[in-house]
Amino acid sequence: MKTSHTVRALWRSAALLVVLSLPLSAHIELVTVPKSQAVELTIYNSADITMVKESRALTFKKGVNTIQFSWAGTLIDPTSLRLTFLDHKGDLTLRDTSFPPGRNDALQWNIDSSLSGSAKIEISYFTSGITWNADYTAMTNPKETSMSLDGFIRVINNSGEDYPNAKVRLVVGTVNLVEDIAGLAQGQWRYKDLKEDNRHQVRDTFRKKMKRAERPMAAAAEEPEAMPAPAPKEIIKEGLSEYFLFTIEGKETIPNGWHKRLKAFNAKDIDVKVIYRASDRATYGAVHKYYEFRNVKGKNSDPKTSLGVSPLPDGTVHIFVENKKHDLSYQGSVAMKYIATGDKIKLDAGLTREVVLRTFLRDFKRYGFKTDTRYDKTYWVKEWTDEFYYEHELENTLDRSVHVEIERTFPSVFLPGDISFKYEKVDMYTMKFFPELDSREKKKIPYTIKIEHKE
């Protein structure tokens, strides 16, 4: 907790004040509120934005009560601050919002109360500085036909604020922000000087997008405190239209500067296919090793640990191969983009020497000359044809068969030689070859490129 600020946020420290509104010349009574009963964080990874919701029990007196809220030193978006009464709604009315003179990091809610006693309130807002990311560890069997995949979630808090005993939810999906929350929070404006339309535009546009990822806090506030479980935290996954929600089991205390790694799933016995690709466009002609599998549920698999239950967020995949002696060989780190449920995953492990591609120019021929005369009666060549005779040589250095794909872009007419495997025309200038090589096999791909020149 932080005590260096004059008045801290309602749920961040014990400095939220309930002030009995009296004449200006009178003494103002300050009452320290108790600890929060429930905190909930909904964190997006596609934008630097988090919704914070917290409930507290406050003691009200009949008449006008004033609650002062400060966001100094944090990345809270003040335009999104919202006060809600969770009970005794007929006895409590938010009269207005005022601002302490000379400050742009605090506000006061003036509340009319016919109640003398305790009531629950909720304050919600958006903040930046809380992020999460995903990373994965993939391990294949020696033949690289089967794979296990562990998924992890890392939550990082650099918001300037501590969040004790919080329910954490992580949202996969893309949102479009009207304003930059970090800029708003860092005092580049005065809240009371904003036009009402601008305030609504910032908070309402995003709130509409978040409704699918929100759940009422009232029920959460009633829940008794859960005992800490010795087992790893479970991450519960729910579909929400274009969003997907990961809820971390139990509650986490998230101090400022904190980060923690949580296991999301552990999928085993995934069918994987290794393909060696060379492409003039994608790999600049070099051979790269790809691992391919689908984000689908495996047979007889546990839905809590299986693929195919949810999309896979952007993240880094660390790939290892286990050999026959159970030693691990590191294949590399691959940046993986968002993968929807059911989609194919293609992991480019980078340049490899397991399959070697060599290219030779075997022959060249120029013919079909046509000439014309210039004004001075001299001759010049206006048409001719060039033919280049190429040969690709593929070598498989492994003791098992492999699948290879070669995509080549040619400047003119492609004429195949004696090719014994499948190939196809992708577009006017691109061909794709699909050879399969046995253990330690070499294979050749002969072809001719015919270029007709016309001046």
Domain membership flag for residue 359:
yes
pLDDT in tens, 314-342: 899 999 998 877 888 898 899 998 888 88
Q: Answer whether residue 146 is part of any domain.
A: no
Q: CA-CA distance, 342 to 307, in Å (whole number)?
A: 9
- Residue 395 burial (10 A CB sphere; 0-12, 13-18, 19+): middle
Q: What is the pLDDT, as a whole number, of residue 277? A: 96
CA-wise closest residue to 67 among 40, 117, 39, 32: 32
- Please give the DSSP secondary-structure letter assigned to residue 339: B
Alpha-carbon span 399 to 33, nearest angstrom = 71
SS3 178: coil
436 lies in a domain?
Answer: yes
Spatial distance between the Cα atoms of 439 and 401, rounded to a whole number of angstroms: 5
Specify if 385 maps to a domain.
yes
Place of tokens 């008449």: 63
CA distance 334 to 319: 8
Within a domain: 369: yes
CA-closest candidate to residue 404, choices 421, 416, 390: 421
pLDDT tens per residue, range 4-24? 333 344 333 333 433 333 333
Total domains in the fold of the chain: 1
SS3 400: coil
How far apart, in whole angstroms, are the C-alpha atoms of residue 449 and residue 77?
62
Q: Is 271 part of a structural domain of the chain?
A: no
User: Domain limits at 445?
Assistant: 355-454
Residue pair 352/287 in contact (Cβ under 8 Å)? The answer is yes
The predicted structure's pLDDT at residue 358? 95
Residue 381 pairs in a beta bridge with 371
Residue 65: what residue type? N
Do the bridges between strand 355-373 and strand 436-437 make them parallel or antiparallel, or are there none, so unpaired? unpaired
pLDDT at 211: 53
Alpha helices in 140-284 (DSSP H): 181-185, 196-210, 217-222
pLDDT score, position 71 = 83
Give CA 420 to chain center in angstroms.
44
- DSSP classification of residue 293: E
What is the 8-class DSSP label of residue 421? S
- Rg over CA atoms, the chain: 33
Give the whole-angstrom CA distance, residue 33 versus residue 367: 94
* Tokens representing residue 311 in the block: 């999309």
Angstrom distance (rounded) from CA 315 to CA 326: 27
Q: What letters, b where the CB count within 10 A reaches 16 and e where it falls short, cover 336-362?
A: bebbebeeebbbbbeebeebebeeeee
Sequence-distant (≥ 6) Cβ neighbours of residue 196 within 8 angstroms = none
H-state helical runs in 132-281: 181-185, 196-210, 217-222
- The Cα 18–Cα 54 span in angstroms is 16
C-alpha triplet 391, 394, 398: angle, nearest 5°? 170
Please list the ranges in the chain whose pLDDT falls under 50.
1-33, 178-179, 184, 187-192, 194, 202, 206, 209-210, 212-229, 240-241
Place of tokens 């509340």: 111
pLDDT at 383: 93
285, part of any domain: no
- 182 in a domain, yes or no? no
